[in-house]
């Protein structure tokens, strides 16, 4: 298929050609910003990251993102070597240096750092962590509602690389995305180990049936901040919302489906495994939730 789209497509912005990247405290033009080939992140995917968005001078849900970053770092026994306040200061320094006021996206990455030898053992990372902040001018661009395909790659059990971890290594998700693309879809719909519909390879997943919003129990997916905000918005606005197990039968028969993530907020889904979902266009509940969310973040 030639017209596959990514759910993370952004409008072209020439200013991004000259952005400054924060690498371990130094701001460097993107053309010169590098990390070592011995870096644990490059070599092994050994690190954690967050994606944040800036609207009108404010990092959306900053506290939640910083909490999740530190929680993930603790889980992989990685000492970030900075306080949450210092991490926020680094974000702000990068934002100011790039003169960004709104519609910016930050990818904040922390790895176990440069290794002494090119092998796996974490003790070989002797130089302290590597932190990088890539911040781009970013307006999501979605040419049409997206198409999903279910794939054989599962969301695993928590004891095999907990799917809640925003780890650098995303190979399971990437393999899922490749399989979906080869099936003619834009993104992969992933099942959990019991066969219930769980999430996509890069976003959380919701369906709407008879005016009620359904999402997975949350057991096998990223604890998405946007996911939680959508659930909270439903509760606050008398939209029935259930975190529950559901199957592909429930999904194909849904009136609407959408994805959530910091980048795209709520992304409508038109088709899953060749079945049109509802009218194939963005439905009324998705539209309403997008409006409520936009108001919440002040976009």
Please report, as ranges, the residues that interact with ligand PLP according to CB under 6 A: 51, 166, 173, 199, 202-204, 222, 224-227, 260-262
Q: Which is nearer to ligand PLP, 125 or 138 (CB)?
A: 138
Q: Which is nearer to ligand PLP, 206 or 246 (CB)?
A: 206
Q: How far is the CB of 287 from ligand PLP (least distance, A)?
A: 19
Q: Which is nearer to ligand PLP, 35 or 225 (CB)?
A: 225
Q: Which is nearer to ligand PLP, 115 or 261 (CB)?
A: 261
Q: How many CB atoms lie within 10 A of CB 24?
A: 15
Q: How far is the CB of 180 from ligand PLP (least distance, A)?
A: 14
Q: Which is nearer to ligand PLP, 90 or 108 (CB)?
A: 108
**233, containing H or E segment:** helix 225-236
Q: Classify strands 212-215 and 241-243 as parallel, antiparallel or unpaired.
A: parallel
Q: How far is the CB of 113 from ligand PLP (least distance, A)?
A: 22
Q: Which is nearer to ligand PLP, 117 or 236 (CB)?
A: 236
Q: What is the DSSP letter of 277?
A: P
Residue tagged 């796996």 (tokens): 120
Q: How far is the CB of 264 from ligand PLP (least distance, A)?
A: 9
Strands (DSSP E) contained in 140-290 are 146-150, 187-191, 197-200, 204-209, 212-215, 241-243, 256-261, 265-272, 275-276
Beta-bridge partners for 28: 21
Q: How many CB atoms lie within 10 A of CB 186?
A: 26
Dist. CA 187–CA 259, nearest whole Å = 10
Q: How far is the CB of 16 from ligand PLP (least distance, A)?
A: 20
Q: How far is the CB of 230 from ligand PLP (least distance, A)?
A: 9
Dist. CA 96–CA 114, nearest whole Å = 28
Q: How far is the CB of 71 from ligand PLP (least distance, A)?
A: 13
Q: How far is the CB of 105 from ligand PLP (least distance, A)?
A: 10
Q: Which is nearer to ligand PLP, 45 or 128 (CB)?
A: 45
Three-state helix/strand/coil letters over 42-99: HHHCCEEEEEEEEECCEECCHHHHHHHHHHHHHHCCCCCCCCHHHHHHHHHHHHHHCC
Residue tagged 């529950």 (tokens): 244
Q: Which is nearer to ligand PLP, 104 or 203 (CB)?
A: 203
Dist. CA 288–CA 48, nearest whole Å = 33
Tokens for 75, please give them.
Answer: 């889980």
């Amino acid at each position: 298929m030639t017209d596959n789209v990514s759910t993370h497509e952004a409008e072209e912005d020439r200013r991004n050609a000259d952005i400054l990247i924060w690498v371990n405290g130094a701001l460097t033009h993107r053309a010169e910003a590098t990390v070592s080939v011995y870096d644990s992140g490059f070599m092994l995917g050994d690190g954690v990251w967050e994606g944040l968005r800036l609207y009108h001078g404010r990092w959306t849900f900053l506290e939640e993102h910083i909490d999740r970053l530190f929680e993930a770092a603790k889980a992989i026994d990685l000492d970030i070597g900075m306080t949450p306040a210092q991490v926020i200061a680094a974000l702000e320094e990068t934002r100011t240096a790039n003169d960004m006021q709104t519609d910016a996206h930050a990818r904040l990455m922390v790895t176990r750092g440069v290794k002494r030898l090119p092998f796996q053992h974490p003790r070989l990372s002797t130089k302290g962590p590597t932190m990088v902040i890539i911040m781009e001018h970013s307006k999501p661009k979605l040419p049409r509602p997206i198409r999903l395909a279910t794939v054989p790659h599962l969301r695993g059990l928590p004891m095999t690389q907990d799917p809640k971890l925003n780890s650098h290594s995303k190979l399971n998700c990437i393999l899922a995305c490749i399989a979906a693309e080869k099936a003619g879809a834009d993104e992969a719909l992933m099942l959990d180990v019991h066969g219930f519909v769980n999430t996509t390879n890069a976003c959380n997943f919701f369906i709407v049936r008879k005016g009620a919003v359904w999402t997975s129990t949350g057991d096998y997916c990223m604890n998405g901040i946007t996911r939680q905000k959508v659930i909270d918005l439903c509760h606050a606005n008398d939209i029935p919302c259930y975190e529950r197990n559901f199957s592909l039968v429930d999904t194909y028969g849904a009136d609407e489906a959408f994805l959530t993530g910091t980048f795209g907020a709520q992304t409508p889904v038109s088709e899953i495994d060749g079945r049109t979902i509802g009218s194939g266009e963005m439905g009324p509940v998705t539209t309403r939730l997008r409006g409520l969310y936009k108001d919440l973040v002040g976009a």
